[in-house]
Amino acid sequence: MDSRFTALNSLIMEENMDVFRGAVLIAATAALGLNAGLFYGFSCSVMVSLRGVDDRTFVTVMQKINRDIQNGWFFVSFIGSLLFTTLALVLFVGRSGSILLPVGVGLAFYVLSMAITIRVNIPMNIRLDRADPVQMGELTLRKAREGFEAPWFRANTGRALASTGGFLALCWALVQFSG
């Protein structure tokens, strides 16, 4: 009787772990999807719309966006993507390689996206934030914009593609997990 109870207990624990693994994988996928969508939205909407505004408006709006995005909701998805995907990777070690591989690929793509953000976009945001669009002349504003807009857009498109690749890899991991 004791060995049957132990076997049943092990089965229940393993089923609970599978539920936990699945929940973590869903959270990682959702968080990474939110980041991919945010970066995509900037590439195909926000930056496209800002092309048509004058330099002072461009600098002012980008400064406001870059300040306002620093909030708890963004932090949850930006850091949550890294934490949940890393946790998913750890939880699937020793399990099915058909799940572990896409989770690892998803994490690698997201780390690339974070690296672009930290090494390119954030320093550019900080430099642009130092500009005072109220006090600056038109030529100085134009130079601030020219030094920011195209390089920031390219970097953002890179992180959008990397995040999307990570999201798709995690979607594939979910398909493998549910199959």
Q: For residue 4, what pLDDT is reported? A: 66
Asked if 170 contacts 105 with a C-beta cutoff of 8 angstroms, the reply is no
* Residue 129 contacts residue 67 (beta carbons within 8 Å): yes
Residue with tokens 């945010």: 38
Please give the angle made by the CA atoms of 104, 168 and 175, to the nearest 5 degrees.
85
Task: Fill in the DSSP letter of residue 53.
Answer: S
DSSP summary character for residue 52: T
Paired tokens of 53: 């505004």
Structure tokens at 151: 């390089």
Domain that holds residue 40: 2-178
| Length of the chain, in residues | 179
CB 162 within 8 A of CB 31: no
Q: How many domains does the chain have?
A: 1
* Distance, CA of 176 to CA of 172 (rounded, Å): 6
Contact (CB, 8 A) for 31 and 81: yes
Name the CA radius of gyration of the chain, rounded: 21
pTM of the model: 0.89
Mind listing the pLDDT tens digit for each residue in 90-133? 999 988 789 999 999 999 999 999 999 999 999 999 999 999 99
pLDDT of residue 101: 96
| pLDDT under 70: residue ranges of the chain | 1, 3-12
Identify the pLDDT of residue 9. Answer: 61
Q: Is 132 helix (H, G, I), strand (E, B) or coil?
A: coil
Alpha-carbon 71 to chain mean position: 15
